[in-house]
Amino acid sequence: MTGDFAVWVYLSRTPLLWLTVTLVAYAVADRIATATNRNPLANPVLVAIAITAAVLEATRTPYATYFEGAQFVHFLLGPATVALAFPLYEYRATVLRALAPMLAALVVGSVVALSSALTLGHLLGVPREVIVSLAPKSVTTGVAMGIAQTLGGDPTLAAVIVMLTGMTGGILVTPLMNALRVRDMRARGFAAGLAAHGVGTARAFQVDAVAGAFAGIALGLNAFLTAMLAPIAVSFLR
């Protein structure tokens, strides 16, 4: 047992171990999602987070130690976001035909996401640092962390809130759109990417390629617009 413990202590401090744990957790989560016919409640990101958190809790591993390995996955957020330009190019003709309503939905969605977080936080007496971290909740993680840090918020808290927003959107988007009888995959996808960023985009791609393409467009445009609007909105907190 002593030898096994010594081996574990050595491996637990190796970044490659936690990268492997992250990838294995997602592979298991994806199998579960496939087995449930991609049920929204079996979202692979949500399940993978639960598995990874259980491993960290069971091994008493600090988050900082885990992130030494997970940062390689975190780095890939940037290239993954840029890769969403490929479906945009593929469906460029469809995008151009729906450009006006897309831009209108983008402005409304971005303003509502920002103002709702700031207003509710202020009314509930939430500390300013937390409100600033809440503000970019509907943009992709890398951008949200940058916005929060620049404006005096907590990047780690912003990342957590972004993931919670994305997972909630990924779970609710399909049943909500079905309940509202929204059949246009362009509208469904754009709404998913606008409100639930990367997780919503991943869910949209699972449902339909056109929906996924429009979700990716919404993700990118909302990140750009939110980065410009957030400093203005946060200035009113003072």
Q: What is the pLDDT of residues 158-191, one digit of tens each?
A: 888 888 888 888 888 888 888 888 888 888 989 9
pLDDT at 28 over 90: yes
Name the DSSP class of 41. Answer: G
Question: What is the percent of the chain with per-residue pLDDT over 70, rounded to a whole number?
Answer: 89
DSSP, collapsed to helix, strand or coil, labels residue 224 as helix
User: Token pair of 37, please?
Assistant: 């016919």
Q: What is the pLDDT of residues 111-146, one digit of tens each?
A: 998 888 888 888 888 888 888 888 888 888 778 888
How do the residues of the chain divide into helix, strand and coil, expressed in percent and rounded to 5?
A: 85, 0, 15
Q: Which residue ranges make up each domain of the chain?
A: 1-75, 78-238
Distance in angstroms (rounded) separating the CA atoms of residues 214 and 193 = 7
Measured at the CA of 134, the angle between CA 128 and CA 139, to 5 degrees, comes to: 145
Name the DSSP class of 42. Answer: G
Which of 161, 156, 231 has its CA nearest to residue 197? 161
pLDDT at position 12: 55
